[in-house]
Structure 1
Amino acid sequence: MARDKPLSRRFVLLSGGAALAGTALPRGTAAAAKPTRQARSVSTYAVHDYPTNPYLRPQGGPLPGPRPTPNTAKTGAALLTNSAPSTPNSTMSTLAAPLATTAAGTTPSTLILYDTTNTWGWLGELYAIMVANLASHFGTWTAVPVVKYTSGMLNQYSCTIYIGSTYGEPIPTAFLNDVLAGTRPVIWAYDNIWQLTAQAANFTAQYGWNWSSFDFSTVAQVDYKGQQLKRYSANGAGIMNYAVVGSNVSVLATCVRSDGTTFPWALRSGNLTYIGENPLVYISEGDRYIAFCDLLFDALAPATPTRHRALVRLEDIDPTYDPTQLRAVANYLASQGVPFGFQVIPRYLDPNGYYTGGVAQNIPLASMPAVASAFKYMLTKGGAMINHGWTHQYSNIINPFTAVTGDDFEFYRVTQNSDLTLNYQGPLPPDSKAWAMGRFTSAATDLRAAGLAFPSFVTFPGYAATATDYEVAAGIFKARAERSLYFSGLLTGAPTDYTRIVGQYFPYVVRDVYGTKVLPDNLGGIEPLAFEIFPKRLPADILADAQRNLVVRDGFASFFYHPSDSLSYLETVVSGLKDMGYTFVAPGSL
């Protein structure tokens, strides 16, 4: 029994998955000469910008109810393998092999330095998590508070990345001197660059550039490698401008003001790459964030050959779906030589009869043999099955829409406000390793009853889970295919703080701080109609952002499609990506 759902996870993804992190935040003070801030209001970001969206802004402060019990069973230190050089108060990760192409016999290592002081110091760890996730694509990483830096540490790594998120962070002189020594590549983003320039009497002569002040112009575009990348124009934090940019300086990317004038977004001279803003805030599809993702290749894998791969995922398929539609989609993709992933929800629940006039529905896959047969058929046509939870809802409690499969979150407590925006509250009451394992075990049981094996891949419903749930998934699945949430405490070893949270997507394969391989999910999904606060997203939007993602030299165009939508939407995107030079690959090949 297929049904027409007015609410769907697809809308949650387009909202929560559209952007990430950050707004202009109060800053501290610094002893060195520095540019001044201007107080600016931050306007809305289309329908995506609402204060409780962790995929748009870092969440901080007390929850409206009792704080969830901290997850003490797993910390960043316990999760990750320590085999990088010893450093004080650090978190380290080592991959079995780098996920990027590197010179034979080498594994790049990254030192990540982050801010921790003053009111907003907690943001530094969240940004460091995001950088660590990206750096894992290339090899090992080590994350250390910048205030704990000691002399010579920089020379133990292939590259050092510092995200200046606290205005006036007390940066150790040892770090400044090691950067100026010029022995290893350094990527420095945003704040506190004035401390570095003040440390060198001849900085301008040595590097060929120097800062002037923050530019608060409206900038909605960053040009990089011939592509016009998007930028949230209402981001009022300011972008660094320059008093001097010499001929020996490489301007890597350019800000475009609303009047068409330009100034550098990122530049490089000698060992130093400087980005004039924090590239980890207000991230959307096709955003200038992907320029930052690509710049990491210059420091960590410069010999990487250019290639562009594509992934397509069929979304939210439960036992009530039309098997004829599923077979038609599989036939089309097979005819185009396109392997694909398809998400399976093994059991459909409508416990309160939301769509059936109060009559509860409980439909396991085994009771719908035609749908189970369609799944088996899809496997023969190049499909890879992806687990999508057990029921894609929590219980008979609305979480936050209808309590019906495909509509609600399964592994995270979410509520809805009167203005239709969402609150990511934290763990559900029963959240634990045993509970999460029980959901996956039940999913496996239902699949086996229908004659299907349990998949090697997972996408958490609603792109939301707790640190505990991610840990359980790491022990079950080969990879996650999704965007994900990250919390304070994952690097420091402190109890997981669900009041401080961000989300992130990746344009290439990573192994994130939970220790799991994560497949790219960077273009979002096709959505023919707008709904509530969520906009429509048509094939043209997917293709425009795929064009922007060509700047990532070994990147992906990864999108999702609902089989209940017109096949023409899928056909348009598939043919368009092929015309751009993307090659479709199977999830299992990554």
Structure 2
Amino acid sequence: MARDQSLSRRFVLLSGGAALAGAALPTGAAAALGPEINKLPAPNYAVHDYPGNPYLRPQGGPLASPWPAPRTVKSGPALATRRMRRTASTPRPLAVPLAPTTADWMPSTLVLYDTTGQSGWLGELYAIMAVNLASHFGNWTAMPVVQYESGELSQYSCVIYIGSTYGEPIPTAFLDDVLAGTQSVIWVYDNIWQLTARAANFTALYGWNWSQLDFSTVAEVDYKGQKLKRYSANGAGIMNYAVVGSNVSVLATCVRSDGTTFPWALRSGNLTYTGDNPLVYISEGDRYLAFCDLLFDALAPTTPTQHRALVRLEDIDPTYDPTQLRAVADYLASQGVPFGFQIIPRYLDPNGVYSNGVPQNIPLSSKPAMVRAIRYMQDAGGVMINHGWTHQYSNVPNPINAVTGRDCEFFRVTLNADSTPNYQGPLPPDSDTWAAGRFLSAQADLQDAGLDLPPLVTFPDYAASATDYAVAAEIFNARAERSLYFSGLLTDGGPIDYTRFVGQYFPYVVYDVYGGTTLPDNLGGIAPQGFDVSPARLPADILADAQRNLVVRDGFASFFIHTDNLSYLQAVVTGVQGLGYTFVAPDSL
């Protein structure tokens, strides 16, 4: 029961999976399962929106004063040039990353964002999300749009402008450079009226023009034949149009509750426009996936279509049943499915919550049967993933009961009266040496058991400080997870504001703002039972969203599961393969 609760809490904390329209399993997914679909419960998308969910909306309040005054420009390298390369047999804690490789040419993206007004802090968070996605394709630069200077657009393959502040004072130099039509521009949401007003012949030039925001209930966005979700309670409005000419490509369509439609995204000439902000209210299978795919058109249009899958076994600690682990490994090996599996090297129950008040401290080396099972999984195609040291912080609840697998290890979290989480910020001892010490302790426990520190990591409960993420980038080849991103990350040398942050998942591999490769984690986990405010998430739910993810032309179906749910694992593996995905090893990316 404890493991089910832990998994459900992970879903509450980080899925953002408000659930949204379309409870029925799409036809393709049903066909993929064949007669097995009749044995599975139907998808059950239940809304669990709450104010503290960073994966559904950014966290933070109004600014006390405007920012930033000085010119703030930050650039980042591409995934292709900065991926570290090492093997599990050569652990390198805190070593300097290997020198980057070189490439003759790669796309580059300029991300421009809003900063003015009391909610100007939102712009940087949206920009962080955009540059994370852009890193999949090439190098990026981000800066406030108010600091744009004439001609800068021409230095990049593509420019993404995210309009998040109504009436942001956009420089006429940027408007004129967009209207010159020489560079690909993706304009998101607000302030499009400033661009159209700058060109008296905009409608004749581009074939479309806006009319007003449409505040209809929209819970579905159709893209590439898939019905993507949209959080129906999102009341921000979506741009509608006075005219959409025959020379305009309507890329995706909003579906109102009465079945009528209007464009969600369109393209004409050098300009792609989305009348909705796809970087807020994100859940699995969301219209965010359409935005992720549209970036290929601007940055990598010749990318061939391929669909890969990742499966990860969750939260394995020294108390797990080795027989169960072997059974799961046998099944996956029999299907030719490589897999990842998380290891927590030490189990702690410092207050004896599950042992009648007797403290428990169990290192992996004290469980030889478990060590043999781990080696068995590796022989069966399993790739070990570090999952912290103890998956809990100390002898105080953080936020549940201080027991391994139940609590956060790298970030302070408390619970509200309704059991929803409150992200408080870094733990009191947080620093680069403290974070490195946790990983070094994990490495020591693994070495005592005759195992190496693996090259991949997942932060417990997907929660860590900016310092911890940066330390992990120095130690591990990649993170397999969703992550939190904080205000201040796009300001060189500026302070990190832990009161303003957002969560993000990726449908493909990125090299994020923390300087680390991050693997897709876009389908969430299988949770047979709901817990607190979290609904159950069943195989049919996973498969419905896997089908939606097919819209991303080089995207993944990545999910996790606990090892005591073998029948559900079998159903999802069969269904994902039936949808045309090919499972790959997480250390091959």
Report the TM-score when normalising by structure 1.
0.89
Separation (CA, whole Å) in 2 of partners of 1:437 and 1:144: 31
Pair 211,422 (structure 1): closer, same or farther in 2 beyond 3 Å:
same
Does the aligned pair in 2 maintain the 1:62–1:499 contact within 8 Å?
no
Q: Specify the alignment match of 1:551 in structure 2.
A: 551
Residue type of the alignment partner of 1:537? R
Pair 20,433 (structure 1): closer, same or farther in 2 beyond 3 Å:
farther
**From 92, 112, 120, the counterpart of 2:75:** 92
Separation (CA, whole Å) in 2 of partners of 1:247 and 1:183: 22
Structure 1 residue 6: Cα displacement: 6.5
Q: Specify the alignment match of 1:586 in structure 2.
A: 585
Residue type of the alignment partner of 1:89? T
Q: Specify the alignment match of 1:14 in structure 2.
A: 11
Structure 1 residue 359: Cα displacement: 1.1
Separation (CA, whole Å) in 1 of partners of 2:409 and 2:181: 50
Pair 229,424 (structure 1): closer, same or farther in 2 beyond 3 Å:
same
Does the aligned pair in 1 maintain the 2:4–2:529 contact within 8 Å?
no
Structure 1 residue 19: Cα displacement: 2.3
Q: Residue 475 of structure 2: SS of its match in structure 1?
A: coil
Q: Specify the alignment match of 1:177 in structure 2.
A: 176
Does the aligned pair in 1 maintain the 2:75–2:141 contact within 8 Å?
yes
Q: Residue 438 of structure 1: SS of its match in structure 2?
A: helix
Q: Residue 308 of structure 2: SS of its match in structure 1?
A: strand
Q: Specify the alignment match of 2:250 in structure 1.
A: 251
Q: Residue 293 of structure 2: SS of its match in structure 1?
A: helix
RMSD of equivalent CA atoms:
1.7
Correspondence 1:53-452 to 2 at 5 A:
53-61=53-61, 89-95=72-78, 97=80, 105-452=104-451
Identity of aligned residues (%): 75
Does the aligned pair in 2 maintain the 1:99–1:510 contact within 8 Å?
no
Q: Specify the alignment match of 2:33 in structure 1.
A: none
Q: Residue 301 of structure 2: SS of its match in structure 1?
A: coil
Verify: 1:533 aligned to 2:518, yes or no. Answer: no
1:189-238 CA-partner distances (Å, limit 9, x unpaired): 10000000000000000000000000000000000000000000000000
1:312-346 CA-partner distances (Å, limit 9, x unpaired): 00000000000000000001101101000000000
Residue type of the alignment partner of 1:92? S
Structure 1 residue 14: Cα displacement: 1.1
Separation (CA, whole Å) in 2 of partners of 1:488 and 1:136: 19
Does the aligned pair in 2 maintain the 1:255–1:263 contact within 8 Å?
yes
Verify: 1:515 aligned to 2:515, yes or no. Answer: yes
1:122-154 CA-partner distances (Å, limit 9, x unpaired): 100000000000000000000010000011110
Separation (CA, whole Å) in 1 of partners of 2:369 and 2:72: 56
Does the aligned pair in 1 maintain the 2:316–2:342 contact within 8 Å?
yes
Separation (CA, whole Å) in 1 of partners of 2:269 and 2:343: 51
Separation (CA, whole Å) in 1 of partners of 2:325 and 2:189: 48
Does the aligned pair in 1 maintain the 2:457–2:478 contact within 8 Å?
yes
Any gaps of 5 or more consecutive residues in structure 2? 19-44, 64-69, 84-102
Residue type of the alignment partner of 1:94? P
Separation (CA, whole Å) in 2 of partners of 1:342 and 1:7: 17
Between 354-363 and 121-130, the greater mean CA deviation after superposition: 354-363
Separation (CA, whole Å) in 1 of partners of 2:3 and 2:521: 24
Aligned length: 537
Residue type of the alignment partner of 1:481? A
Pair 519,573 (structure 1): closer, same or farther in 2 beyond 3 Å:
same
Q: Residue 267 of structure 1: SS of its match in structure 2?
A: strand
Residue type of the alignment partner of 1:573? V
Q: Residue 16 of structure 2: SS of its match in structure 1?
A: coil
Structure 1 residue 16: Cα displacement: 2.5
Residue type of the alignment partner of 1:299? A
Q: Specify the alignment match of 1:542 in structure 2.
A: 542
Pair 473,6 (structure 1): closer, same or farther in 2 beyond 3 Å:
closer
Structure 1 residue 556: Cα displacement: 0.1
Residue type of the alignment partner of 1:447? L
Separation (CA, whole Å) in 2 of partners of 1:56 and 1:546: 19
Q: Specify the alignment match of 2:21 in structure 1.
A: none
Residue type of the alignment partner of 2:73? S
1:87-108 CA-partner distances (Å, limit 9, x unpaired): 95210012262699xxx94300
Residue type of the alignment partner of 2:304? P
Q: Specify the alignment match of 2:93 in structure 1.
A: none
Separation (CA, whole Å) in 2 of partners of 1:54 and 1:225: 28
Q: Residue 447 of structure 1: SS of its match in structure 2?
A: helix
Does the aligned pair in 1 maintain the 2:308–2:555 contact within 8 Å?
yes
Does the aligned pair in 2 maintain the 1:164–1:188 contact within 8 Å?
yes
Does the aligned pair in 2 maintain the 1:16–1:56 contact within 8 Å?
no
Separation (CA, whole Å) in 2 of partners of 1:20 and 1:548: 14
Q: Specify the alignment match of 1:560 in structure 2.
A: 560
Residue type of the alignment partner of 2:376? Y
Does the aligned pair in 1 maintain the 2:120–2:165 contact within 8 Å?
yes
Report the TM-score when normalising by structure 2.
0.89
Pair 559,99 (structure 1): closer, same or farther in 2 beyond 3 Å:
farther
Structure 1 residue 17: Cα displacement: 2.2
